[in-house]
Amino acid sequence: MKNPNDDGISPWYSTDFGEILKTPEWTFKKVDLKRFGNDD
């Protein structure tokens, strides 16, 4: 995946994107995204 909005962190995307994250191929709503982490 490539981040055309910020070459400095590509292929990563900032978590501060608002309610919609647009990538070259997909559009995600914030509620669609998940993360790996501890379930403490």
Are 23 and 32 a contacting pair, CB within 8 Å? no
Q: Tell me the pLDDT tens digit for each residue of 1-38.
A: 788 888 899 888 888 889 999 888 999 999 998 888 87
Report d(CA 30, CA 7) in Å as an integer. Answer: 22
pLDDT of 20 = 93
Residue 40: pLDDT band with limits 50, 70, 90? low
> How many domains, in total, are found in the chain?
1
pLDDT of 39 = 65
The candidate with the shortest Cα–Cα distance to 1, out of 14, 13, 15, 11, is: 11
Domain that holds residue 13: 1-40
